[in-house]
Structure 1
Amino acid sequence: MKRSEFLQKGLMATGALVAGSSLTSNASTQTVNKAAKTFNLNYGPHDGMFKNLAGNNFLDQIQFMYDQGFRGIEDNGMSGRSPQEQEKIGNLLAKLGMAMGVFVLNKGGNGANTLAAGKKDHIDIFLKGCHEAVEISKRCGGKFTTVVPGDFARNLSLDMQTAHVIDALRKGAEILEPHGIVMVLEPLSDTPDLFLRTSNQTYLICRAVNSPSCKILYDIYHMQRNEGDLIANMERTWSEIAYIQTGDNPGRKEPTTGEINYKNIFKYLYEKGYKGVVGMEHGVSGSGKDGEQRLIEAYREVDAFM
């Protein structure tokens, strides 16, 4: 299957209706309100981002997001939710016509079980997470799952570690590909111990895995810290990028709070034809309701690139 067809089907399936569950929060009884104007890109807030304006219930927050013009969400913690809660989220997203962005693959790679080491028990944990992701996807409608290969195995050469990561990801792709699920590899800047650090390194690995189920998650915050030259690096690796996340630098808060020119970056993404969720994986610079309202205004400001 061509990459474009594969991702298109995955995006269309995102947020699909999952039967067998009824909503129990206030959101379940609300009709779809006349919402605020939608954005040029599909920005996706996460749980807790609007807890002061919408309350602590994630379903109520999703309804609030919709009313503010957002048409997507992401939820790193989806794997830790109960199956019943996953279904409720999927049902509400389908009702509102919203897209489900990434959820993190359960133990998809970390310092404790790094894929770079090539150890069978580490790979088995990763593959178990892939099988779980298939079931989670059926319930919540999400077609993108975040994978971090873990830390360096410093007793091995970099080439050997890279080969181990590729081998493990190929096995994971065999599980996910029949279900149209894409594991998106995220290079991070949190610690120098992390194996996956740059977009070109991730590009090389995705090309070697050679599956529509193994692509790049380009987190603009992390890539600004690790490599800069953001638009040029996205252009170089575009054929393997399947998901985008945001966060300004320094501080990892909403756009307009740091040094990144998000209006230009979003204009670039729009002109490239990116239709996926732009995950808002960052904090809120202000406090309380005023801080959350300012976050919405910041996205309106940087989305005004037309």
Structure 2
Amino acid sequence: MIDFAINIEPLYPGMDICGKIERVSAAGFQAVEFWSWDDRDISRIKETCRKHGVKVRAFSGTKSYSLCDGEHSKEYIEWIKRSIEAAKILDCDTLILFPNHFTPCGCADFRDKYSRGAMIANITHTLTCLAPLLEEEDMTVLLEPLCNLGADAGMAVTDTVLGADIVRAVDSPKVRLLCDVYHMQVMHGNLLQNITDNMDVVPYLHLADAPDRHEPGTGEINFNFLLRKIKESGYDGTVCFEYFPAGETEAGFSSIKEAGKLLL
């Protein structure tokens, strides 16, 4: 059965994370995702979720090091260990990992340091090194291919098929692929086939429309077709709405819920 979540990071601009949890709970959402954890009061988040019956479905395990940078693989793994401890406090079993970490100027760019092939090898190596720890801790990580537009031109993995190949090479049940349909549409399209061809390694989807990354129905993606076909395919993972509201946050919730109904 498909389970749903909503990423609260872009919602209610200026509000603290616990306030966002309270507001989305009041709107009927029972699972949340967010980005960074280390700059937040984890105990307070845990208590807010407990009070409102909300589950933390996933958060980002990427911070100051990049999967594609082999020179800092050990530091990356140490950071994941810390992220796992935070996840345990929140009763969360999933971390989202980016190929590159982000700086105030866009994604960290290693193209002058490594060939593309070397970056892919670095990602595969670090994930392979992580796999025994993840299996021991019963923690899943999701590799998320991202777009390489503008300041993110150095993004090492932008293609769904490549991401799936990396995950299959690692060959661990705790290393999986996240398909974000916004990034997929921007980079290569062919959304349905790229998702269904790789369902063996894809337990998690991010939904937002393109090109502006707003609510489903505000752009060029035919969600009525896409979501009906995903349901028919037998997909039974997580669907998380990760989008930037086109207007006031709660004005967009009706379109989010309508999109969700297509998967029920």
Q: TM-score, normalised by structure 2?
A: 0.84
Q: Identify which of 251, 260, 263 aligns with 1:294.
A: 251
Residue 90 of structure 2 is aligned to residue 144 of structure 1: no
Distance 1:78 1:269, change over 3 A: farther
Distance in structure 2 (CA, Å) of the matches to 1:59 and 1:72: 13
Q: Tell me what 1:3 maps to.
A: none
Structure 2: which 5+ residue stretches go unaligned?
101-108
Contact 2:192 2:230 in 1 (8 A): no
Distance 1:177 1:100, change over 3 A: same
User: Rg larger in 1 or in 2?
Assistant: 1
Equivalent residue runs for 1:95-110 within 5 Å:
96=53, 98-107=54-63
Q: CA deviation at 1:169?
A: 0.9
Contact map agreement 2:62 2:98 (CA 8 A) in 1: no
* 1:116 counterpart (40, 45, 68): 68
- Look up the equivalent residue of 2:157 and give its one-letter code: L
Tell me the SS of whatever aligns to 1:84: helix
* 1:131 corresponding residue in structure 2: 81
Q: Which residue of 1 aligns with 2:208?
A: 247
Matches of 2:210 and 2:177, distance apart in 1: 20
> Which ranges in structure 1 are unaligned for 5 or more consecutive residues?
1-7, 9-39
Q: Say whether residues 1:159 and 2:112 are aligned partners.
A: no
Q: Does the 8 Å CA contact 1:117/1:153 hold for their aligned counterparts?
A: no
Is 1:220 the counterpart of 2:177 in the alignment? no
C-alpha contact (below 8 Å) 2:182/2:209 kept by paired residues: yes
Give the Cα–Cα distance (whole angstroms) in 2 for the partners of residues 220 and 294 of structure 1. 22
- Which whole-Å CA distance do the structure 2 matches of 1:231 and 1:152 have between them? 31
Q: Is the 8 A contact 1:183 1:215 kept in 2?
A: yes
Which structure's residues are more often helix, by fraction? Answer: 1
Deviation at 1:268, TM superposition (A): 3.0
Question: Which is strand-richer, 1 or 2?
Answer: 2
Aligned equivalents of 2:16, 2:219: Cα separation in 1: 30
Query: 2:76 & 2:182 partners in 1: Cα distance?
Result: 26
Count of aligned pairs: 252
Q: What amino acid does structure 2 have at the position aligned with 1:223?
A: M
How far, CA to CA, are the matches of 1:59 and 1:155 in structure 2? 40
Over 6 Å off, 4+ runs: none
- Give the 3 Å change call, closer, same or farther, for CA 163–304 of structure 1 in structure 2: closer
What is the Cα-based RMSD across aligned positions, in Å?
Answer: 2.5
Aligned amino acid, residue 44 of structure 1: I
Residue 117 of structure 1, CA deviation: 3.8
Which residues of 2 match residues 25-104 of structure 1 at below 5 A? 42-47=4-9, 49-50=11-12, 56-92=15-51, 96=53, 98-104=54-60
In 2: Cα distance, 1:284 partner to 1:296 partner: 9
Partners of 1:157 and 1:68 in 2: CA distance? 47
Percent sequence identity over matched residues?
A: 23
Q: Is the 8 A contact 1:143 1:181 kept in 2?
A: yes
Q: How far 1:243 sits from its partner (Å)? A: 1.4
In 2 relative to 1, CA 282–128 (structure 1 residues): closer, same or farther, beyond 3 Å?
same
